[in-house]
Amino acid sequence: MNNFYSLTYVEETKFGFAFLRTHTWQHHVLRVAIEDLTNLFPDKPPQDPLLLDVGCGQGKSFKYLQASFQPKKIIGIDADPLSVKLSQLEAQKNNINAEVIGADCAKIPLEDSSVDIIFCHQTFHHLVEQELGLKEFYRVLKPGGYLLFAESTKYYIDTWVIRLFFRHPMHVQKSAKEYLSMLSRQGFIFDNTNIAYPYLWWSRAKDFGLLERLKLRKPPAIGQRKETLVNAVVRKPLL
């Protein structure tokens, strides 16, 4: 696989690419994240939105986004040519009105203030130029539009199992607090009711939450643990 813009995006490993096709990824990661994000909106989501899926991968998110937001159209972008082709096939298979474009998040080929919702799920930690990507998200969102941001933090990415099987630009990985600070600096508005810190078993690379799942101990509370995931629904201010 060759990226369209290899300087700004770190390509996934063969294992990682295959993993994105699995039931585990679709059911336990994508589905759960989208359900969580829908509960973080301060108001009702826009009706019939134009929805941009940045780093859409193989299009496995399309059916969940369609069910949750009923968009009039989904635009997917991805820097990997094979992913673009697979996303197009996924949209056709599920009869979803989607346009998939080969592009990089640091240079999105859409007009200013043109989309209602941006879905950014497990994409941001692949980006080398994170500031440029976030600036582009802000640019293409309509005033009052929403960014759905779901990311693994450096406390998950910088673990032995992720380093072994996946590939990321390690020098740009951030904590949940650092990601939220970046969103705020860009101009997005949100409060604590628009943020969640899932502590899911698959994000606990040290032991995958085994002791909690066996009910041998309780999971540490927020504030007493290093957050492995952060979900946020943030808004571009109205003019």
pTM of the model: 0.89
- 163 lies in some domain: yes
- The rounded distance, in Å, linking the Cα atoms of 66 and 49 is 10
Domain of 163? 14-235
Q: Are 80 and 58 in contact (CB under 8 A)?
A: no
- The rounded distance, in Å, linking the Cα atoms of 59 and 98 is 10
pLDDT tens per residue, range 90-127: 999 999 999 999 999 999 999 999 999 999 999 898 88
Could you give the number of structural domains in the chain?
Answer: 1
CATH, residue 33: 3.40.50.150
With a cut of 80, say whether residue 218 has pLDDT above it. no
- 6 lies in some domain: no
pLDDT: which is higher, 12 or 113: 113
